Amino acid sequence: MTHPGLPEYWVYLIWGFMLLLSLAMILKVNFSTFSILNKPDVPFASFKSAAPLVHLLSKSRWLLFVLKVIAVAFFLLVIYAGLMGTPIPERNIATVLTWNIWWAGLILSIFFLGSAWCAICPWDALASWHVKPKLWLKNRVLKLNNSLELTPPKWMRSVWPALIMFIGLTWLELGYGITTSPYATALLSLLMVVMAVVFMAMYKNKAFCHYVCPVGRTIGFYSQLAPVELRPINNQVCLDCKTLECFNGSTDVDACPTQLVMGRLTQNTYCTSCGNCVQSCPDENVAWRLRAPSNEAIKSARPHWDEAWFMLVLLTLTSFHGITMMEFWEDSLRSFAQVIGDSGQLLTSFSLGLVVSMVVPVSIYAIVVEASRRMSGSTVTYKKAFTSLVFVTLPLAFAYHLAHNLNHMIRESVGASQLFVNPLGTNVSYSGVADELLIKNSMLLSENTIFVLQALLMIFGFWIAIKVLQHRSTVLFAKAGLNVLPVMVFIIAVNGFHLWMLMQPMVMRIGALCVVPSTL
């Protein structure tokens, strides 16, 4: 079964907006005069109705613990159902909860809550409970430490391991077809927990979250576009602070798991929203606040080589997800397999397709950066231009990822509540045409609402990408005019390609009557 694509009139509207905005940028219109992106950050404390709730959420360790317990309970249910339940993917809670609800909903949650998921992540919770368990007694906290607390080797202290894991996860998801196998989904869940435990038992702080976890890093990079952040209330208090409880921890509260110093924090990338800094700060100087979305990606995020590659690959793999869910993908792959003599699972053909899908956009990006650099006559190094301009890819990837996942979330989660009654899918039959009708008639949002949201997201992504380009090219090349045309064409081409994919009928991930593209 396939989902209908975005109607043409929406696409024309988005294209019109894209071209107008591009023209405005070339004509050097200053967006900042009418931009909401320049609004100052607002602490949640200033919202009288929301302040107590936000304060409770960030200060109460019991509430966080309860949320972690709930997340772990669902996670264990996924493992149990995956191993013991029906192999019919849409009838087993393991596959539906993991791929339709969690994986799709996770990206949506970043749009509102930033990296909040990391705070209740069951992989990390289980690892912490095993390796560094804590007991809150009446007057003291009893801490056990089963970690060797080694310093991670230098090669690991980057996002390269997470990048490799991310590519591996995509391969398993789309190539091996793990989304259609409850058993394989359970195995992957177990593997992630084992890895989290092993890394925590070996290395200090949370090396797994910081360097290895592909989900955490994806959340981290996308969180640069989130409208919330944990930051100091008064920067001067942080500047005067000599004890750095946020970094070192206190007697009751652990240190920042990813070794961030609140006074110097400018980007969300490595913040896991655990709230340790809020709890440990003796001056109560750390709080959640609302900010203009994407300000971080536009201005404050600093470019690094490994992070630039992660962002680029994030874009390519997000697009690749879309490609594999097109109806033509399976036939093309089969034809390609016949040419190279591949057979069986067609994993060689798939792997080559994956590599090509990464190499082509990255090469084009590399060329357009060089072209812009030359056109500007700037003396800035290629590496600096490459890492600085790469932030344009982030909103493009995020917007498409959200628009794409809306389909999975809204259309394929219909009837998911029934799975909580029978999570193992015991004695259930296959989905049928009746399920198809049910999906069409019981969606949480109407089809038109989905289209509107998708269109708005694509406009949002493009707008932010142009803002990023405008700001960063001005800083980099001292001016932003015709010299950024190559990168702008790249942005238009990527967003245009994403739009085209949204127009096409999209194959369901695991839903009823599924014909899954990844199952070759």
The residues binding another protein (CB under 8 A) are: 1, 79, 82-89, 130-131, 146-148, 176-177, 180, 182-183, 186-187, 190-191, 193-194, 197-198, 201-202, 334, 337-338, 341-345, 424-426, 429-430, 432-433, 513-516, 519-520
CB of 172: closest distance to another protein in angstroms? Answer: 12
CB of 425: closest distance to another protein in angstroms? Answer: 8
For another protein, the closer CB: 11 or 131: 131
CA nearest neighbour of 167 among 354, 392, 331: 354
To the nearest 10°, report the CA torsion of 227, 319, 406, 173: -110
For another protein, the closer CB: 176 or 288: 176
Burial 75-86 (b: 16+ CB within 10 A, else e): bebbbebbbebb
CB of 124: closest distance to another protein in angstroms? Answer: 14
CB of 370: closest distance to another protein in angstroms? Answer: 36
CB of 511: closest distance to another protein in angstroms? Answer: 12
The phi and psi torsions of 39 (rounded to 5 degrees) equal -65, 140
For another protein, the closer CB: 243 or 338: 338
Cα 496 from Cα 502, distance rounded (Å): 10
Cα 107 from Cα 259, distance rounded (Å): 25
For another protein, the closer CB: 196 or 286: 196
Cα 309 from Cα 475, distance rounded (Å): 21
Cβ atoms of residues 93 and 77 within 8 Å: yes
For another protein, the closer CB: 152 or 182: 182
290 by Cβ neighbours in 10 Å (0-12 / 13-18 / 19+) ranks as: middle
For another protein, the closer CB: 214 or 425: 425
For another protein, the closer CB: 108 or 513: 513
- Please tell me what DSSP assigns to residue 183: H
Which position has the token pair 């997000």?
A: 318
CB of 505: closest distance to another protein in angstroms? Answer: 12
Give the relative orientation of helices 447-477 and 347-376 as an angle to the nearest 10 degrees.
Answer: 40
CB of 485: closest distance to another protein in angstroms? Answer: 45
For another protein, the closer CB: 63 or 433: 433
Q: C-alpha distances in angstroms, 379 versus 373, 476, 509? A: 8, 10, 47
For another protein, the closer CB: 174 or 397: 174
CB of 206: closest distance to another protein in angstroms? Answer: 16
Cβ atoms of residues 266 and 110 within 8 Å: no
CB of 422: closest distance to another protein in angstroms? Answer: 12
Cα 408 from Cα 430, distance rounded (Å): 19
Cα 372 from Cα 154, distance rounded (Å): 33
Cα 486 from Cα 375, distance rounded (Å): 9
Q: Report the alpha-carbon angle 492-498-500, nearest 5.
A: 100
Burial 372-405 (b: 16+ CB within 10 A, else e): bbebbebeeeeeebbbbbbbbbbbbbbbbbbbbb
H/E stretch holding 136 reads strand 134-136
CB of 183: closest distance to another protein in angstroms? Answer: 6
For another protein, the closer CB: 37 or 76: 76
CB of 276: closest distance to another protein in angstroms? Answer: 23
Cβ atoms of residues 127 and 208 within 8 Å: yes
Which position has the token pair 């080559």?
A: 352
For another protein, the closer CB: 196 or 389: 196
